[in-house]
Amino acid sequence: MDRKGKAENIDLVRDRFGRMAVAVLSDYRGMKVKEANDLRDACRGAAVELRVVKNTILRVAARDTPYETAIRPHIAGMTAVAWSYEDPAVAARVLTEYARKNPKVQVKCALLDGRVLDAQGVKALASMPGKNALRANLLATFMAPATRFAGTLLAAARGFVCVTDARRRSLEEGGK
């Protein structure tokens, strides 16, 4: 790769570091082409971008970022980077699930909010609910008091209707 190509790749990786919600680094040594394509398909289906990045390009792109020194021990061997731009848990979830099926994929670390998470941290991140699930839970929490209040208001009317209906039925049956 010529100097211009390397500079473009460094800029590309640096741009992704600037836009990401999370980046998960993994080792893919020993994977066959079909396995690598399956991993790419899984990532693509979850809106995660997966790229194989040379370690020197990764090191240079990480300069002047909060990850510069903490990422160095993890940049060794073959490195694939999975970027997620919306939901931090998605990239971690896709790679940890794939690593469970295919032990050739080894999750190295994740870059999240200026911190570097080790492989255990990535597993913990993968087990967290996604952004949409958290939004749904928050919305349900906000709506619960209003829903209960409306139910309480309707209970009196519902009780009145039930009592009058019972009285109507008893009168129709000939009772008093």
Q: Per residue in 97-112, pLDDT tens?
A: 988 888 888 898 998 8
Contact 88, 112 (CB under 8 A): yes
Structure-model confidence comparison of residues 83 and 114, the more confident one? 83
| Cα distances (angstroms) measured from residue 9 to each of 5, 12, 53, 166 | 6, 5, 9, 78
CA–CA gap between residue 126 and residue 96 (Å, rounded): 7
The candidate with the shortest Cα–Cα distance to 82, out of 162, 31, 130, 21, is 21
Mean pLDDT of 144-170: 87
Q: Which position has the token pair 């993890």?
A: 74
The residue type of 93 is R
What's the pLDDT band for 176 if we cut at 50, 70, 90? low
Secondary element (H or E) of residue 25: strand 22-27
CA–CA gap between residue 60 and residue 6 (Å, rounded): 10
Mean pLDDT of 156-163: 88
The residue type of 65 is T
Q: Could you tell me where the DSSP H helices lie in 20-130? A: 33-45, 55-61, 68-71, 88-101, 119-127
- Asked whether residue 175 carries a pLDDT value surpassing 70, the answer given is no
CA–CA gap between residue 117 and residue 159 (Å, rounded): 57
Count of C-beta atoms within a 10 Å radius of residue 110: 28
